[in-house]
Chain A
Amino acid sequence: DTGVSQNPRHKITKRGQNVTFRCDPISEHNRLYWYRQTLGQGPEFLTYFQNEAQLEKSRLLSDRFSAERPKGSFSTLEIQRTEQGDSAMYLCASSSYQTDTQYFGPGTRLTVL
């Protein structure tokens, strides 16, 4: 059973650059979530897809952030013009429509210099 995978695991970038992260959910899961976690805090919800439809976005998701799930399988999260405050762990999770249980990937650690 393959779990949720995320790439890259680590990303270091300079302020002002664009970055893109990828998430591959568990294959039979139709729901996919993005969360952000800063040091010492619990994860905070960013956005959520059911199949290819983006159904909910947090106010945390500024206009510099965009997420896609074009074929209802993998998803990408892009951050444009990165700022130092974007430094965090970006977590992806997936679930099936039958349960609330979300399974998380290993995360992508972003450091903006």
Chain B
Amino acid sequence: TQLLEQSPQFLSIQEGENLTVYCNSSSVFSSLQWYRQEPGEGPVLLVTVVTGGEVKKLKRLTFQFGDARKDSSLHITAAQPGDTGLYLCAGGAYNTDKLIFGTGTRLQVFP
């Protein structure tokens, strides 16, 4: 069974702080997607990474896919209250088209 574990589960920080969320697995994935989800809404795609070692930047967000394609990280610089939400990583497996989702990291940024 493929599992993706995210850490930390909860993160509560002040506006302006930096943070990193980790997504780890013992399995290799063909791609890794990061989503942000607001309460009562569906996940909204932030980024897809497909190459081992790949780094993508989206304004203050930096995403990295591990060299072995088993792990990923999301780094937010100078967090803002608008970054508050549930961050989900999801891996695309080689032998199926479904996504395997991580356990989620709930981020709260206080002004």
Q: How many residues of A contact B (CB 8 A)?
A: 29
Q: Given A48-B97, A48-B98, are A100 and B45 neighbors across the interface (CB < 8 Å)?
A: no
At the interface, yes or no: A67 with Cβ under 8 Å from chain B? Answer: no
The CA of A104 and the CA of B104, in the complex, are separated in Å by: 16
A33 at interface by CB-CB < 8 Å: yes
Chain A residues, CB < 8 A from B45: 101-104
Beta-carbon contact of A45 and B98 below 8 Å? yes
Q: Which of A50, A99, A100, A107 contacts B42 (CB 8 A)?
A: A107
Interface string of A42-64 (1 = CB under 8 A from B): 11110010100001101000000
Binds A, one of B11-19, B28-36, B53-61: B28-36
- CB contact between A105 and one of B30, B42, B50, B90 (< 8 Å): that residue: B42
Taking the closest CB of chain B, its distance from the CB of A107, in whole angstroms, is 5
Q: Which B residues touch A48, using CB under 8 A?
A: 97-98
* B31 with A100: CB separation less than 8 A: yes
Q: Is A91's CB under 8 angstroms from B99's CB?
A: no
Name the contact of B97 in the complex, choosing from A35, A41, A56 (C-beta under 8 A): A56
- Per DSSP, chain A at the interface is strand
CA distance A6 to B88 in the complex (A): 21
| A101/B42 contact (C-beta < 8 A), A42-B104, A45-B99, A48-B98 known | no
B33: which of A6, A41, A58, A101 is its contact (CB, 8 Å)?
A: A101
A56/B96 contact (C-beta < 8 A), A42-B102, A91-B42, A107-B42 known = yes
Contacts of A56 in B (CB 8 A): 96-98
Q: Are B101 and A42 in contact (CB under 8 A)?
A: yes
The yes or no answer to B78 lying at the interface (CB within 8 A) is no
Encode contact with B along A79-100: 1 for CB under 8 Å, 0 otherwise: 0000000000001010100011
Residues of B at under 8 Å CB distance from A?
Answer: 4, 30-31, 33, 35, 40-45, 48, 50, 88, 90, 92, 96-104
Q: List 18 A-B contacts (CB under 8 A).
A: A6-B42, A33-B98, A42-B4, A42-B104, A45-B99, A48-B97, A50-B97, A55-B97, A56-B98, A95-B97, A100-B99, A101-B45, A103-B45, A104-B44, A104-B45, A105-B42, A107-B41, A107-B42
